[in-house]
Amino acid sequence: MSIRGPEMEIPSLTLYQMLKQTVDEVPDNRALIFAGDELTYTELHHQVQTVMGRLQELGIKPGDRVGIMLPNCPQYVASYYAITGIGAIVVQISPISAGPELAYLLTDSGCRALVAYSEVVTLVQSVRPASLETVVAVRFGATTVSLSAQDRWFDEWMTAVPSAPEPVIPDLNPADTIAVLQYTGGTTGRSKGAMLTHRNLVANVYQSNYFVPGGSQPDDVVVCALPLFHVYAMTICMNLPIAFAGTILLVPRFDAKELLTLVEKYKATSFPGVPTMYVALTQVLTPGSTALSSLRICNSGGAPLPVQVLHRFEELTGAVMSEGYGLSESSPVTHSSLRDRRKVGSIGIPAPETEVKIVAIDDPSREMPNTESGELAIRGPQVMKGYWNRPEETARTLVDGWLLTGDIALIDDEGFTFIVDRKKDLIISSGFNVYPRDVEEALYKHPAVLEAAVVGVPDEYRGETVKAFVVLRDGEGVTEADLIAFCRQQLAPYKVPRLIEFKQDLPKSAVGKVLRRSLRA
């Protein structure tokens, strides 16, 4: 049977109204920190309004698509709130996209304009579709890039004479107006643009705040080291602190040692990360270090957090970590754990106003008992409107109002949800179901293992066999036979990896998620 999160009143606001509310209440609060510079909410709002006016000057109208292809920086935040503020749609684009991927995203979304940083302008020009009328380039350091006649430099665009016209703020319906096209990772084919409305995104801010101990505060400093083009960072590192007047510490590139320095310098209170970031931090933290002592909130998402990594991080810092869950199609948060209500290894309980249930993997109309595994289905105000120009894909993913996540899960007797694995990552070996996470958790228990990822590889006899890719800690010399013997002590025989390949590092997405599909290839 389905279970439901707590009841909550969610305000009917657009993203711009949410920002304006904070600006009106605490105009002088610090909004952004970037490269040693600070911006108040009044200054941020002025930048947002300038970009709104300039976009309208270019002829951008409600419903038009405008891409953002930037690392974490103030121009990202200003552009995001300006684009959505005039009723246009943000297209989230990774600044490290390759040419074919970029061409696809620009064409599929029909971008009319793109805000991009100077290093990618040449790439953009090489794949530019006819629909892309204007590129607004943000300078990072000295650059020799030259722009086409119809393009602009962001800094000159902001200060040009005459100044930007006063923006016209359209009257938008938050429930119907698409704010963001959040392209999925494309693990099962071409990336699809999840259509997230203002209602979806604002609802998820308030739902996420429920899990913050004591609620978000105006003196919070949130470390934004996750890339803002990713849905997790967009909501937790940007929209959440802006809604509650906090400060965003913008970090364009994650480096574990640099992060310790920044957290200590600015007394950061919140660090949303992914498992690979926590692995890296445990490598540079020394027992008894106080570098992260200001953090009151540490949460992990994006991929399952190995239990050993969680324990190690907590031992080194004294912090209490919470693990959450979400996906692009749900803005993203659907689950998290409360500080006083946590089960290690669980993604927690449903967010407020969110229903969850477990359905049969091969038949979503058949509901499973909660203590049995099946596909996790979700319903709530944060669930997307559908996929951009993909009615058939939408119909397969949104069934009777329920979002089918593609993740295999179970719900225990106390209402905690546990992710067993990705439906697409399931390995079937000799007729047995093998979930990669089970094998990875066993490998992480070995003191020599730093990182591990498990996939199924073709096997004439078994159909598939279990293969592990392992990164060892510095100075460790464990063998393949050693690890296989260790796994035999931890796992049923059919789950034990028969092949182990040692790597210097594992392929990861821009947000730090291990790419199993690359390892399979």
**Nearest-angstrom CA–CA distance, 29 and 32:** 9
Query: Which tokens sit at 4?
Result: 């439901």
Contacts of 383 (CB under 8 A, 6+ apart): 200, 329, 330, 331, 398, 403
Percentage helix, strand, coil for the chain under 3-state DSSP, each rounded to 5:
30, 30, 40
The crossing angle, in degrees rounded to 10, of helices 480-488 and 436-444 is 110
Half-sphere exposure of 110 (CA within 13 A, CB side): 8
316-to-299, 468, 477 alpha-carbon distances in Å: 16, 28, 25
Domains of the chain and any CATH numbers? 10-194 (3.40.50.980), 250-422 (3.40.50.12780), 426-520 (3.30.300.30)
Contact 222, 250 (CB under 8 A): no
Contact 289, 240 (CB under 8 A): no
pLDDT > 50? residue 143: yes
> For residue 521, what pLDDT is reported?
81
Q: Sorting pLDDT into bands at 50, 70 and 90, what band is 461?
A: low
Candidates 277, 269, 283, 284; CA nearest to 302 is 277
> For residue 185, what pLDDT is reported?
59
Contact 336, 325 (CB under 8 A): yes
Tokens 């911006």 locate to 39
Query: Which tokens sit at 471?
Result: 């990164």
Tokens 């490998």 locate to 443
Q: What is the 3-state secondary structure (H, E, C) of 359-390?
A: EECCEEEEECCCCCCEEEEEECCCCCCEECCC
Half-sphere exposure of 513 (CA within 13 A, CB side): 16
Contact 297, 269 (CB under 8 A): yes
Q: pLDDT digit string (tens) for 157-213?
A: 999 999 999 999 999 999 999 999 999 854 445 789 999 999 999 999 999 999 998
DSSP bridge partners of 500? 468
As separate numbers, helices (DSSP H) first and strands (DSSP E) second, the chain gives 16, 30
> For residue 418, what pLDDT is reported?
93
Q: pLDDT digit string (tens) for 337-368?
A: 876 778 888 999 999 999 999 999 889 999 99
Query: Which tokens sit at 294?
Result: 């200001």
Candidates 239, 119, 262, 95; CA nearest to 180 is 239
Q: Sorting pLDDT into bands at 50, 70 and 90, what band is 436?
A: confident
> For residue 459, what pLDDT is reported?
79
pLDDT > 50? residue 227: yes
> For residue 187, what pLDDT is reported?
40
Q: pLDDT digit string (tens) for 30-82?
A: 999 999 999 999 999 999 999 999 999 999 999 999 999 999 999 999 999 99
C-alpha dihedral (313, 316, 317, 318), degrees to nearest 10: 90
Q: Give kind and range of the element (H or E) at residue 411.
A: strand 402-411
**Nearest-angstrom CA–CA distance, 309 and 299:** 13
**Checking phi first, is residue 311 left (phi over 0); if not, alpha (psi -120 to 50) or beta?**
alpha
Q: pLDDT digit string (tens) for 256-297?
A: 999 999 999 999 999 999 888 998 999 899 888 899 999 988
Other beta carbons less than 10 A from residue 204's beta carbon: 30
> For residue 188, what pLDDT is reported?
42
The CA-based angle 182-185-191, given to 5 degrees, is 70
Mapped onto helix, strand or coil, the DSSP state of residue 99 is helix
| b/e 124-148 (16+ beta carbons within 10 angstroms → b) | beebbeeebbbbbbbeeeeeeeeee
Contact 78, 44 (CB under 8 A): yes
